[in-house]
Amino acid sequence: MPEETLKLLEKLLLARGPGGQEDEVREICFNELSKYCDDVSIDDAGNVRGLIKSHAESKRERPIRVMAHLDEIAMIVKKVRSDGSLEVVALGGAKPISFGVCPVEIMGNAKCLPGVLSYGSMHNSGTSSQGQDVLKGAVTWEDVYVVTRCTVAELADAGVRPGTRVVLSKHWRRPYTLKDAVAAHFLDDRAPLTAVIMTAQRLNSRRPELKQDVWIVCTTLEEESNAGALYAASRLPGDTTIAVEVGPVLAEYGTILSADPIVNTGDEKGYYTRSVVDELIKAAECAGYTPQVALLVNFASDASAVMSAGIAARAGCLAIPTENTHGFEIVLLEGIDACAATLTEYLTKTMDE
């Protein structure tokens, strides 16, 4: 993987992007896609939309929409306590175990404040329900709070209120190199975003092979509701939507941590289009990889949401194999490149030639 791609991944990882406040990640994606796309815009839902036009005189197919999401799992303030601590709940599929006790940033309207995610001392007798949960290691969001060391007035001045986003601090986001792999929080979905930007770069140099226009869509609010994808798909042309995701490495799915991309055949929102699944399998093989075909039962993507809502006739999902999804995640560096290579082959349809 080129050094500039690694720098892009780190830049994306350090950018804060809780659902509904993805500004920092959105700006990076907009600037990167502007290098390779014919047109880049931000729609009213906050999605970044990059169009790569086919130069084919007679386009055989309608546009294809490729989606990777901007947002990350995070927390949102439920209540400001009288002592200045904050009660929080999950924003997206976050669990207290996803973060542990750690430094956070409270993204107030006026300023960003430091805080520490806490659930109290381990040195307790278990006389309270919270203490029992801590001792058992079964901590829930009801047990969790954020220590701010601020007064209620200071929090109000900073614009902190119910609905304020809380994210992991920047120094907690830095990637950690693990031989041929990289580990970090929020490789979901920063690694797929890197892969789709790499794909845009490759497609820009392979336009004569494109049989249809391609929309690269970096979506908002995937972790909560897929709202960004639903909005974009209802307004952009095309019958086919491909989600680019991280894929869980689990024995129950028969997936392993390798560069070989995961081709998802279905998830909790429905089964992907069989012909699209077959095409993605062929594309991975054409790119030189052995695809990991899996049915990811406890999973969902922008593509399955769009298809289940009836605003895509065909859908598929290509995923980068990922250890510790929604935790301190691990992907192979080659896995990001393999995803981009597979997606490029699929979009240029070279497997049919």
Please write the tens of the pLDDT for every residue from 170-191: 989 999 999 999 999 999 999 9
Nearest to 316 by CA among 204, 238, 236: 238
In this prediction, residues 98-111 reach a mean pLDDT of: 96
21: number of Cβ within 10 Å: 20
* pLDDT value of residue 353: 44
Q: Note the helical H segments in the chain.
A: 3-14, 23-33, 96-99, 129-136, 152-157, 187-205, 227-233, 274-286, 302-308, 333-348
Confidence of residue 132 (pLDDT cuts 50, 70, 90): confident
Beta strands across the sheet bearing 329-332 = 176-178, 181-184, 329-332
**Could you tell me which residues come within 8 angstroms of residue 310 by beta carbon, excluding any fewer than 6 positions away?**
none
- Percentage of the chain modeled with pLDDT above 70: 97
Domains 3-72+186-352 and 74-172 share a fold: no
Is 314 within 8 Å of 276 (Cβ atoms)?
yes
236: number of Cβ within 10 Å: 17
pLDDT exceeds 90 at position 268: yes
Task: Tell me the CATH number of domain 74-172, given options 2.40.30.40, 1.10.3720.10, 3.40.50.300, 3.40.630.30.
Answer: 2.40.30.40
Confidence of residue 28 (pLDDT cuts 50, 70, 90): very high
In this prediction, residues 85-98 reach a mean pLDDT of: 95
* pLDDT value of residue 351: 45
Q: Which long-range contacts (CB under 8 A, 24 or more apart) does 95-99 make?
A: 95/326, 96/139, 96/140, 96/141, 96/143, 96/144, 97/139, 97/327, 98/73, 98/326, 98/327, 99/168
* pLDDT value of residue 58: 56
Q: What mean pLDDT is reported for the chain?
A: 95
For the CA atoms of 123, 128, 132, 133, the dihedral, rounded to the nearest 10 degrees, stands at -100
User: pLDDT by residue (tens digit) across 325-344?
Assistant: 999 999 999 999 999 999 99
Cα separation, 23 vs 11, in Å, equals 13
Higher pLDDT, 308 or 124: 308
Place of tokens 């294809």: 64
* pLDDT value of residue 55: 84
Place of tokens 């007035």: 153
pTM of the predicted model over 0.75: yes
Confidence of residue 137 (pLDDT cuts 50, 70, 90): confident
Cα separation, 347 vs 353, in Å, equals 13
Return the axis-axis angle of helices 333-348 and 274-286, rounded to nearest 10°: 120
Domain ranges of the chain: 3-72+186-352, 74-172
Whole-number CA gyration radius for the chain: 21
Is 189 within 8 Å of 72 (Cβ atoms)?
yes
Cα separation, 185 vs 324, in Å, equals 9
User: pLDDT by residue (tens digit) across 201-230?
Assistant: 999 999 999 999 999 999 999 999 999 999
* pLDDT value of residue 349: 82
Cα separation, 114 vs 229, in Å, equals 32
Task: Tell me the CATH number of domain 3-72+186-352, given options 3.40.50.1000, 3.40.630.10, 3.40.50.300, 3.40.50.1970.
Answer: 3.40.630.10
* pLDDT value of residue 60: 61
In this prediction, residues 5-19 reach a mean pLDDT of: 96
pLDDT exceeds 50 at position 352: no
What percent of the residues of the chain are helix, what percent strand, and what percent coil, each to the nearest 5? 35, 30, 40
